[in-house]
Amino acid sequence: MPVSSGVHAALVPGGVIGNGRYRLLAKSGADARSNAELWRARDGQLNRDVALTVLLGDLADNEAAARARRTVERAMHAASFTHPGVSRVIDVLTPGTGIRPDEGILGMVVAEWTQGTDLMDLIAEGPLPAGAATRLLEPLGAAIEGAHHAGLVLGADHPQRIRVTSDGRLRLAFPGPRPDAIARDDVKGLGAILYLLLTGRWALPGGPGGVPVAPTGPDGSVVAPNALHPYLPHELSSVAVRSLEDTSVGGIRTSAAILQVLNQIAADEAETSLIQAVTPREDDDEQVVWTTQRPRQDKQQKKKLWISVGVLALATVTVIVWLSVQIVGFFSDEPSKGGGPTVVINQPNSNGQTAPAPTPAGPVQPGRIGVYDVTNQPDNANQASRAVDNNANTFWRSDNYFQQFPALKPGIGLMASFAEPVRLASVTITSPSKGTHVEIRVASALDSPLEETKVIGIADLSDGQTQIQLNEHEPTGHVLIWITQLTNAGGGKNQSEIREILYTRAQ
């Protein structure tokens, strides 16, 4: 609703409003959904800075005036709630009680000023590491949870209402929830702010101009943060997306659920920070096990990497020649001398008897392999090829989960595709992740739904090589290694690693 020209003349730095009490210093933002402007101002009576949420509009517009009154009333009720994550409401003003009718202002919420910086300035140079985002967001999440227990809605669903305190906490600096806002909007706002910190994009309608909008998939759902930045922890990425989703399709309902994940990641970050950093060797980029820092480009390192790739290519050719001589011995009855114990697990067939193991006819290399994930949030998709590169020093690793499957997803897997249909006798998995439960499944297509795949082998992996004898099956072009239980490493960490997969063709 347009306002009078007098309002525009007053709402400029140096302008005075509120019966001459508040001098405007700098504009912090605007929330178009409430037709509100957010200002830092100077209280001339008490000689201190304050945060003003100024609701603009025409007094003749009864609907707009009623909405403004409702916002002011809700802010006044929230004045009794105190928390470090929320700026304290000092006063509320309405036309005739602190606001002149000719100012074109329908209401105003006055809060204590939050020293620090604007949230938008914090991400101006790019998204934040996961650990930093978690530490920033925890106090605001705790404030929202406390307010909801008190029956209050804060209106923390717009990034320009949030500031970063000088000691590194996110704080609702401009209180004043929309008249129709509900607790679920605070939960969505918390998820959207987390998404903003991790990606630099805003995922809710009505965001500030100039801020990139979060991308969406074909179904309209917001793309997960770790799909944009694969280095982000899966658990944190998932909670950001699920906070934004409709609760009828699995969305998070309460801020408590978000806080649980934030607290767990913060604890994990604190534990990690106590571990002395190990400097990786120049020729080995696999030494970094866990990091919350974004990858940085290093020209000298890149040059060394290309040299290493050239040497590796030459070495690979040599290894292939050697393997062609050794391959017969590889499948002899002589036990392996390295890599840990080999466990052979026989699977019962349909009549309850043990299926005879077909005579191996030799290994078969898949044409390609990729991460199979029913939630469209694949774990470390760029590492999948390491599981079949004939190099046990490289690996594919799942994300770190604080809860076992199926808490967030039913499982995760690696789908191999072959140049022509094959009938396999066995699959041998080299892994240090003892206790990981896997199913070997055949599929008719690369993107077959899980329920349309068929289980032909089951095993719990040992620390080393685990050879899994497979049931009889029709030749297939697609074989899925499906993980339904990860290795529990203690401390709430559930993660599995696969170093090599060997597919053996049946005669």
Residues 177 and 30 in one domain: yes
Domain boundary among 281, 296, 313: 281
- The CA distance from 206 to 157, in Å, is 10
- The CA distance from 102 to 96, in Å, is 10
Q: Is the dihedral of CA 345, 350, 356, 358 positive or negative?
A: negative
Residues 257 and 344 in one domain: no
Residue 300 has pLDDT above 60, yes or no: no
- The model carries a pTM of 0.57
- The CA distance from 250 to 399, in Å, is 21
- The CA distance from 353 to 334, in Å, is 28
Residue 302 has pLDDT above 80, yes or no: no
What is the DSSP code string of 297-338?
Answer: --HHHHHHHHHHHHHHHHHHHHHHHHHHHHHHHHTSSSPP-S
Domain ranges, residue 470: 340-506
The reported pLDDT for the residue numbered 8 is: 42
Residues 128 and 15 in one domain: yes
Residues 395 and 493 in one domain: yes
Q: Is residue 230 part of a domain?
A: yes
- The CA distance from 344 to 503, in Å, is 14
Residues 274 and 404 in one domain: no
Please count the structural domains in the chain.
Answer: 2
Domain boundary among 262, 281, 300: 281
Tell me the per-residue pLDDT of 50-75, one tens digit each, with 9 for 90 and over.
Answer: 999 999 998 889 999 999 999 999 99
Q: Is residue 384 part of a domain?
A: yes
Residue 427 has pLDDT above 70, yes or no: yes
**Any idea what the CATH number is for the domain that residue 26 is in?**
1.10.510.10
Q: Is residue 306 part of a domain?
A: no
Tell me the per-residue pLDDT of 182-233, one tens digit each, with 9 for 90 and over.
Answer: 999 999 999 999 999 999 999 999 888 889 999 998 888 899 999 999 888 8
Residues 347 and 277 in one domain: no
Q: How far apart are the first and last CA of the chain?
A: 78
User: 119 and 169 in contact (C-beta within 8 Å)?
Assistant: no
User: 232 and 457 in contact (C-beta within 8 Å)?
Assistant: no
| Cβ atoms within 10 Å of 503's Cβ, excluding its own | 21
**Any idea what the CATH number is for the domain that residue 502 is in?**
2.60.120.260
Residues 274 and 345 in one domain: no
Question: Greater confidence, 25 or 344?
Answer: 25
Q: At 356, list the tokens.
A: 């005879």
Residues 273 and 344 in one domain: no
Q: Is residue 331 part of a domain?
A: no
Phi, psi (rounded to 5 degrees) for 223: -70, 135
User: 442 and 454 in contact (C-beta within 8 Å)?
Assistant: yes
Q: Is residue 459 part of a domain?
A: yes
Residues 253 and 368 in one domain: no
- The CA distance from 48 to 252, in Å, is 40
Q: Is residue 324 part of a domain?
A: no
Q: Is residue 305 part of a domain?
A: no
Domain boundary among 241, 261, 281: 281
Q: Is residue 456 part of a domain?
A: yes
Query: Which residues are CB-contacts of 106 (< 8 A; sequence separation ≥ 6)?
Result: 55, 56, 57, 59, 64, 65, 68, 69, 94, 95
Residues 236 and 104 in one domain: yes
